[in-house]
Structure 1
Amino acid sequence: MGATPLTDRFTSHGTVVGRAKNEAVLSLASDLPSSILSRILGIHIGTAVVWVWFVERVVLLSAASGLPAGGRKADDNAGALADHCAVTRDLQSFALSVVVPGQVMRGSTVEVRPRIEGRDIVAEAFDDGPCSDPRHLLFPDGPLCADVSSREVRLAEATCTEGCCGALYVTIRRDGDQVVWGAWRNPDAVEVGLPEFRFDAQQYQAEVERATLDRSWEWPARTVARLLEEELRRRTARLERWECELASVSAWLWEPDQINLFFFHPGGAAVKEDRPWLQFRMTLNVSGGDPAAQAQQLAEELTAFDPRLAADVCGGSPEFARQLGYPWPQRHML
């Protein structure tokens, strides 16, 4: 099968679609979601998102003008689609991958690694520590979502801490139908050396939402920890009656069958106001059963009694512990 006018038009704009016929490509883009279209045609998800968006736009414009959706010739639609791609051909592709290390050791972390045009952009500019954990970047309306007001986001931090060896920051903003990543910064370096990148806003947002919803990388304990934290944050009043405030629920790779719950007494406000405070840690075992059921059961149990009775002091100071009536752990005194 030889090249079609659609193939020629896309090829002229640097876009490869193989030898698919015009009608076939347009039909696929109108019937399939971008994720499946990407896999079938072997194209980048960002390109597939643009194609699907364009075909939907053609249908809407045809309806508004009173013409049937097929009233325009396939080559006309293909030419318009190619012209649209020509406008966006200088934009970079954007993808997010969640990386779980194959070899686990104490301190191993899960990372969100952005890829621009297939390049691991963080690895090119920062090698002093891992990228941020999904819990800090991938949640509804999280920091990676772009808005007209710019937002600085930390993508990676030095293993020793930012204050010691730096971190990598990017400023994200929405500029019309584009998303811009720029103003790169590392507090420990004079300059980062990365340019400004621009992405198609629709493709960018679709990728952020996809990565946020994709939990296939989680192991059972990580899922239980996430669901338990969500449930406890809906039950803040039950913890407050014990003068406790949830800090976080964590699952660590090197402890695959347990989770750790952290909370403050009398609350996080005491930390900011320099009043006596303590942090407590509770370790909970997790089974291979249904994560949602386990999270629900643990939430019921944890809010039925004073959680301090089953937890250990893990933060604060010996003086704060004395003032609040708790013994300071001996391990902190070594």
Structure 2
Amino acid sequence: MSAREERDALALPPALYGHALRLLRESPDGVPVRRGYRLPDTSTPDAAPPSREALGRLSDDAARSLGRRLTRTGTTVPAVATGIALLARLGEAEDIPCLSALGLFREFTSAVVDALDAIDRQAAAVVWLTVCSRSELRPLVGALWAGDRQAVRAELEAFPALPRCLGSTGARRIAEATRLTELLDRHPSDTALLARAGRILARMVCAQDRATDVLEYRDALALYERVVTRAGLLPPALDHHATLLSLAWDLNSGPGVLLDWPSGRRAMLLESLGRLLAEPRWAPPADTGVGEPDQRLRAGWVRRTGRRPFALPGSAPGGLRVEVVAGDPVDRAPVETRVLVDGRPVVPAVFARGPAHSPEYLLDDGRLRAGPEPREVQLAEACCTEGCCGALYVTIRRDGDQVVWENWRRPALPGTGKPAPEPPVHRFDAAAYDAEIARAETDFSWSWPARTVARLVKAGLVARPELLRRWDLRRGWISSGHDDPDSVVVTFWYEPGPAAGKPDGIPLQFLWVVPDDGAPPAEQAAAALRRLAGEDPKTYGRVCGGSRERAEELGFPWQGGV
């Protein structure tokens, strides 16, 4: 082996921090690539990082010093990860540049963002947006890395704030990264900026993903103050009306209720929105049947629900209130059954991973009723399914002249594996409880024609299961369409019986979109039920679930999933 080969063999791999800086310098315009960098392959490990027991014996100063050394000179993932963990607990402002650079490695992003959140929320948000945001936000990310406040403002107003590129966490991170409240204070007459701030806040409280993001946003109260008190500066456009109505619903019964409001302030802001949106100039357009589909959907939603958040009580007799809230249909916001105890929404207070269940699940099937036997009820499920991130359960039982909610179940605390603290036991006067549940079960003021048709079709099939059974079918989910809320979607499962010659229990799912003939909902539902009774639904539905092989085996064309 030559002397050069010996030197190369003995050379240590570069520090990961130095490698990140080099990649950043080589990036076009100094802006990191979207989705971050990949860690380099290293074969020579550092000395093993100290054990947890050894770290626990260090003083804070010694642990901080070790964290800085490991993050700046570590060449392997375990060493650098240990350094990041130490700085998550003990880091200071001088650690922000190093952590920000390491966060550009996607394997470190989550840990670095957590560490930076404790030091500087803006820096954490910039790293998160750089690695995790969609391509539509790249111009804003570039302006943030350049530190150009004028460009940040321009790009903040320009990017398409559609649901697909602005979830609740993204909205919070944008507000943190841009220091949105400071921007609003610097430019109080910029109505485009004000409208965008309202849109970001409305997306932050959207229950479709993580509605608790607004509770993690430290400037939430300040942003609410600026948006609502200046709302009168906005032109009375339908999009602005939808934004303000979404905020009103949040102030009425959403996660925003849980913010640390000064006494009476939330009610005052809600009242001011009610007065503004009641002005004639804010009246939504009439339904003419023409125009863009999204605008027609939104105008119908405003006409239907526009006054409800300002008329509903903050609490109900007996401490329980159940309110069905249908959010902005253009945002594909969920229809959720908000349960409030003493005016505070239960689900976002104890479960951060998904909205409360739909009224079809909790109310139509009577799950919230208090029967003679205790019943465990799932109030909410994680957006990614219970098997991934859990669900929220409570046991409801009747105890004499009281109804009791107790024995809560929810996921462990993130990153710890430790059980989350159990919410308190709630006791309600049984008569008041029964009255409130009965009221909620029969209140359909939130609904719209397609949703009403779907509910009536489902009720008809529940009452007459033989309508589908005669075709070897069983009922699936029935609701308004997700992408087109004005459509009615009926799904059913085909399980071939003995007559088909393939009674192996392997099902195939079908979907039928019920055509809207403009008739009243009750007539449309009756017509749909008549067709289900008299004509095999497999002849007019399409395959939407199962497998291609099973569809071909049974003689049906495969058209992919729903």
TM-score (norm 2): 0.40
Paired residues of 2:508 and 2:545 also in contact (CA < 8 A) = yes
**Structure 2: stretches of 5+ with no match in the other structure:** 1-312, 414-418, 498-502
Does residue 130 of structure 1 match 2:355?
yes
User: 3-state DSSP class of the match of 1:303?
Assistant: helix
State the shift of 1:127 in Å: 1.8
Show the counterpart of 1:278.
508
State the shift of 1:253 in Å: 5.5
Show the counterpart of 2:401.
177
Does residue 98 of structure 1 match 2:327?
no
Looking at structure 2, the residues matched to 317 and 188 of structure 1 have their Cα atoms a distance apart, in angstroms, of 35
Pick from 174, 182, 199: which aligns with 2:428? 199
Q: Which moved more, 1:280-289 or 1:218-227?
A: 280-289
Q: 1:243 to 1:165 in 2, by over 3 A?
A: same
Paired residues of 1:112 and 1:131 also in contact (CA < 8 A) = yes
Paired residues of 2:492 and 2:511 also in contact (CA < 8 A) = yes
Question: What pairs up with 1:239-318 in 2 under 5 angstroms?
Answer: 239-252=468-481, 254-266=483-495, 275-318=505-548
Pick from 434, 437, 445: which aligns with 1:216? 445
State the shift of 1:177 in Å: 0.7
Deviations, residues 257-278 of structure 1 (Å, cap 9, x unaligned): 211111111279xxxx962210
Q: 1:251 to 1:185 in 2, by over 3 A?
A: same
Paired residues of 1:251 and 1:259 also in contact (CA < 8 A) = yes
State the shift of 1:238 in Å: 3.6
Looking at structure 2, the residues matched to 148 and 231 of structure 1 have their Cα atoms a distance apart, in angstroms, of 27
Letter in 2 for 1:236: P
Looking at structure 2, the residues matched to 199 and 267 of structure 1 have their Cα atoms a distance apart, in angstroms, of 48
In angstroms, what is the RMSD of aligned CA positions?
Answer: 2.4
Paired residues of 1:264 and 1:277 also in contact (CA < 8 A) = yes
User: 3-state DSSP class of the match of 1:144?
Assistant: coil
Paired residues of 1:165 and 1:188 also in contact (CA < 8 A) = no
Letter in 2 for 1:279: Q
Letter in 1 for 2:475: L
Does residue 232 of structure 1 match 2:466?
no
Looking at structure 2, the residues matched to 103 and 293 of structure 1 have their Cα atoms a distance apart, in angstroms, of 24
State the shift of 1:293 in Å: 0.9
User: 3-state DSSP class of the match of 1:247?
Assistant: strand
Q: 1:44 to 1:162 in 2, by over 3 A?
A: closer
User: 3-state DSSP class of the match of 1:171?
Assistant: strand
State the shift of 1:204 in Å: 0.6
Letter in 2 for 1:285: P
Letter in 2 for 1:260: V
State the shift of 1:202 in Å: 0.6
State the shift of 1:147 in Å: 2.6
State the shift of 1:188 in Å: 4.2
Looking at structure 1, the residues matched to 471 and 529 of structure 2 have their Cα atoms a distance apart, in angstroms, of 15
Letter in 2 for 1:202: A
State the shift of 1:184 in Å: 1.1
Looking at structure 1, the residues matched to 522 and 329 of structure 2 have their Cα atoms a distance apart, in angstroms, of 28
User: 3-state DSSP class of the match of 1:132?
Assistant: coil
User: 3-state DSSP class of the match of 1:130?
Assistant: coil
Paired residues of 2:314 and 2:343 also in contact (CA < 8 A) = no
State the shift of 1:104 in Å: 3.2
Paired residues of 1:258 and 1:284 also in contact (CA < 8 A) = yes
State the shift of 1:166 in Å: 1.3
**Structure 1: stretches of 5+ with no match in the other structure:** 1-41, 47-91
Pick from 382, 388, 391: which aligns with 1:167? 391
Looking at structure 1, the residues matched to 540 and 380 of structure 2 have their Cα atoms a distance apart, in angstroms, of 35
Looking at structure 2, the residues matched to 111 and 93 of structure 1 have their Cα atoms a distance apart, in angstroms, of 19
TM-score (norm 1): 0.66
State the shift of 1:311 in Å: 1.1
Q: Which structure would you say has the larger Rg?
A: 2
Give the paired residue count. Answer: 239
State the shift of 1:192 in Å: 4.0
Letter in 2 for 1:243: D
Q: 1:103 to 1:309 in 2, by over 3 A?
A: closer
Looking at structure 2, the residues matched to 311 and 216 of structure 1 have their Cα atoms a distance apart, in angstroms, of 31
Q: 1:285 to 1:105 in 2, by over 3 A?
A: farther
Pick from 103, 116, 124: which aligns with 2:341? 116
Letter in 2 for 1:224: V
Question: What pairs up with 1:54-69 in 2 under 5 angstroms?
Answer: none
State the shift of 1:299 in Å: 1.5
User: 3-state DSSP class of the match of 1:226?
Assistant: helix
Pick from 152, 161, 171: which aligns with 2:376? 152
Greater strand share, structure number: 1
User: 3-state DSSP class of the match of 2:461?
Assistant: helix
State the shift of 1:43 in Å: 10
Show the counterpart of 1:52.
none
Letter in 2 for 1:302: L
Paired residues of 2:402 and 2:429 also in contact (CA < 8 A) = yes
Q: 1:128 to 1:238 in 2, by over 3 A?
A: closer
Looking at structure 2, the residues matched to 192 and 113 of structure 1 have their Cα atoms a distance apart, in angstroms, of 21
Letter in 2 for 1:105: D
Paired residues of 1:263 and 1:281 also in contact (CA < 8 A) = yes
Deviations, residues 3-23 of structure 1 (Å, cap 9, x unaligned): xxxxxxxxxxxxxxxxxxxxx
State the shift of 1:45 in Å: 4.2
User: 3-state DSSP class of the match of 1:104?
Assistant: helix
Letter in 1 for 2:322: L
Paired residues of 2:382 and 2:389 also in contact (CA < 8 A) = yes
Letter in 2 for 1:275: G
User: 3-state DSSP class of the match of 1:321?
Assistant: helix
State the shift of 1:169 in Å: 0.9
State the shift of 1:251 in Å: 0.7
Deviations, residues 83-102 of structure 1 (Å, cap 9, x unaligned): xxxxxxxxx61110111113
Looking at structure 2, the residues matched to 238 and 180 of structure 1 have their Cα atoms a distance apart, in angstroms, of 39
Paired residues of 2:329 and 2:485 also in contact (CA < 8 A) = no
Question: What pairs up with 1:36-75 in 2 under 5 angstroms?
Answer: 45-46=316-317
